[in-house]
Amino acid sequence: MPPMATPTPNNRTASALLAFWGAVRLSLARLGRTTSMLAVIFMALLPLLIVVLIAAATWHEPIFHQPAAAQRVYQTILRLVGLHFVAFFIAYILGQAVVRQDLEDETLHYLFLQPMPRWLLFAARFVAFFLLAGAAVVLGMWLCWLAATVPWMRPADLFDLLREQGRLAGLLREAGVLLLAVLFYGAAMIAVGSFFRSPFFAGLLLGWEAGVYYLPRALKYWTGSHYFHSLLPDGGAERRLFELIGEPAGVGLCLTLIPAASMVLLAIGAAAFHLRECQYGKTN
Amino acid sequence: MTHGPVTIELRDVSRWYGEVLGVNRVTADLRAGLTGLVGPNGSGKSTLMNLICGLLRPGRGEIRILGQPVWNNPELRRVLGYCTQNDHFYESFSGREFVASLLRLHGHGLDWARRTAADWLERVGLGPHMDRRLRTYSKGMRQRAKIALALAHQPRVLVLDEPFNGLDPVGRREMMQLLQEFAAEQRTIVLSSHILHEIEQMTDNILMMSNGYVVAEGEVGQVRDLLTDHPFQVFIRCDDPRRLGALLLREPGVLSVQVEGERSLTLATRAPDAFYLRLNELILDHGIDVDIVTLADENVQSIYRYLAGREHH
């Protein structure tokens, strides 16, 4: 039989870290064990699927056996599908759930009854979101690159491509940009999800971000896409094809602006979470 | 009986949901021991409990537990346990995983959390089922899991909203015993139920709510006396109110009769149960056609319904 005494942690810092890690683990389990995770996995595998379909369609005249052509196809998929579609929708599915899941499931009170400040609970939910969404997006794109490259190259050539030709650094840089996209879009979805259930605002943001190609130059600076594309390694034809960038923003500006905007959006979400009451549409 | 210093202070607490009243101007001091919060469904019990536990913010007034404000006070959660009426869970979790994962947020390691969760699930009778997913639990098992979660960090203040819902008679007895052991250790337990006799088995001390108000406070016997002394207003619509009024005035339990127009009358009685039985006899004996018989006072009506309802449980 358990002792009848209220246990209190001895070391407050260690205890706070343990509690935070516990909240991250709980959030990972909560976000990861939903049917919408199937949609996330499908989204993450979409670039790979596209490569497989292209390979199948061009079987008699393969395009991936030429590294330059393979990289061009990959760059197009990265920019069009990876950034604008996969990162966005994974951020949407998981980002909305950061706050919405507990409201829809009517389980928010379990969190609010724990001895953790709400901003820390929110931070734990966000960390879990970022780990899941970031891993799904980056691994999905890496799988896509591997499928577009590995089957068509000898190991020595692959090693040469990665190390000598600097493709490894390029892949890491692309992963960094995708993570920034997950951060920004996720923050936006969390902020929206804190107030609205409707996907209308997510659709609005998608239209705004994807419509960057058609925007006048001055308005492009008000999209996340502009800065993500500015940060991507020069894709040559792809960038010119969409006349996207005009004047690419500097790396410093991109690395300041995107996290700053994300932090503002997260602060809005955190403030809403802090002030939220546990009401699930019933009066008593 | 409750005793000792005040643990939960409610000062002029009100809460509205838009134009719908949740609780209104509740002032009460709750002490260590077991206090029953009783009242019919919709009387504001759950709202008051959510306010006490800081899940809702009062529109007006102040709530303190152990001298500290409850709203957005995470440290207070170390000494506060709450078993809500809400029946939603992390359905994909096992019982042990559910309790342990939330216990970890108290800042203890995984081993401690898993061990403590297992101990308490064992104690509420879920030992053999603790590794099954919650979605496979019956209503009673889910109730036990919630109680285990509320007790597992051994809070000094425990709030339980209808904790015996869905439990079979054996389960009720086991949980009552467990809570009584818990209360015996100078802890404060607030327990709600819409069934008075359930509360009576555990404590004499009750807070009775109706329509968002605390309408009575004290020992069960005192509250019963209070209700017995309170005259009930009964409204009757019939074809001959003067004749019926004259007949009713001869009845010992009827205090007054007032005829209103050609078809209705209002009377006051302290014994509505006996009155209703006698009214049926009078109607049949004298051939009076009665359309409506109802309690005129909504506030009293809900209390009466509640007290009448207990006869059926």
Contacts of B80 in chain A (CB under 8 A): 113
pLDDT band at B313 (very low <50, low <70, confident <90, very high): very low
Domain co-membership, B95 together with B136 = yes
Neighbours of A200 (CB within 10 A): 10
Domain co-membership, B24 together with B164 = yes
Percent of chain B with pLDDT over 70: 91
Nearest chain A residue to B48, by CA = A284
**Number of Cβ pairs < 8 A linking chain A and chain B:** 126
Closest by alpha carbon to B31, among B205, B227, B175?
Answer: B205
B67 in a structural domain: yes
pLDDT band at A265 (very low <50, low <70, confident <90, very high): very high
Asked if the C-beta of A117 comes within 8 angstroms of chain B's C-beta atoms, the answer is yes
Residues 98-117 of B with CB under 8 A from A: 101-102, 104-110, 112-113, 116
pLDDT at B311 over 70: no
Domain co-membership, B221 together with B248 = no
Nearest chain A residue to B103, by CA = A114
* CA–CA separation, A188 and A268 (whole Å): 9
* CA–CA separation, B189 and B158 (whole Å): 5
**Alpha helices (runs of H) in A86-117, residue ranges in sequence order:** 87-104, 108-112
Q: Return the minimum-mean-pLDDT range out of A19-28, A182-191, B220-229.
A: B220-229
B97 in a structural domain: yes
The answer, yes or no, to whether ipTM is higher than 0.90 is no
Show which of B225, B240, B264 is a domain's final residue: B225
Domain CATH for B185: 3.40.50.300
Q: Given this model, what pLDDT does residue B186 score?
A: 87
Contacts of B71 in chain A (CB under 8 A): none
Domain co-membership, B158 together with B24 = yes
Domain CATH for B256: 3.30.70
Domain co-membership, B94 together with B13 = yes
Q: Given this model, what pLDDT does residue B190 score?
A: 96
H helix or E strand, kind and range, residue A55: helix A36-57
pLDDT band at B292 (very low <50, low <70, confident <90, very high): confident
B1 in a structural domain: no
B203 in a structural domain: yes
B304 in a structural domain: yes
Contacts of B110 in chain A (CB under 8 A): 22
Domain co-membership, B91 together with B217 = yes
Show which of B225, B253, B281 is a domain's final residue: B225
A109, A273, A277, A283, best to mutate vs chain B, most B CBs in 10 Å: A283
Q: What is the mean pLDDT of residues B178-201?
A: 86
Q: How many CA atoms lie within 13 A of A74 on its CB side?
A: 25
pLDDT at B53 over 90: yes
From residue A278, alpha-carbon distances to A25, B66, B134 in Å are 22, 22, 22
Domain co-membership, B263 together with B198 = no
* CA–CA separation, B274 and B271 (whole Å): 6
Of the partner residues B82, B97, B108, the one whose CB lies closest to the CB of residue A9: B108
Contacts of A237 (CB under 8 A, 6+ apart): A72
Nearest chain B residue to A32, by CA = B92
Nearest chain B residue to A26, by CA = B101
Domain co-membership, B214 together with B287 = no
B33 in a structural domain: yes
Q: Given this model, what pLDDT does residue B300 score?
A: 58
Burial of B132 (0-12, 13-18, 19+ CB in 10 A): middle
Per-residue pLDDT tens over the stretch B84-113: 999 999 999 999 999 999 999 999 899 999
pLDDT at B281 over 90: no
User: End-to-end alpha-carbon separation of chain B, Å?
Assistant: 24
Domain co-membership, B181 together with B105 = yes
pLDDT at A284 over 70: no
Domain co-membership, B47 together with B184 = yes
CB contact under 8 Å between A283 and B80, yes or no, is: no
Contacts of B78 in chain A (CB under 8 A): 6, 8, 115
Show which of B225, B245, B275 is a domain's final residue: B225
Per-residue pLDDT tens over the stretch B121-142: 999 999 999 999 999 999 999 9
pLDDT at B209 over 50: yes
Number of domains in chain B: 2
Average model confidence (pLDDT) across chain B: 88
Domain co-membership, B242 together with B292 = yes
CB contact under 8 Å between B90 and A106, yes or no, is: no
* CA–CA separation, B255 and B249 (whole Å): 8
B11 in a structural domain: yes
Q: What is the mean pLDDT of residues A185-205?
A: 90
What does the DSSP assignment read for B178-232?
A: HHHHHHTTT-EEEEEES-HHHHHTT-SEEEEEETTEEEEEEEHHHHHHHHHHSPE
pLDDT band at A8 (very low <50, low <70, confident <90, very high): low
Domain co-membership, B288 together with B184 = no
CA distance B217 to chain A (A): 21
B60 in a structural domain: yes
Print the domain residue range for B65: 6-225
Nearest chain A residue to B59, by CA = A277
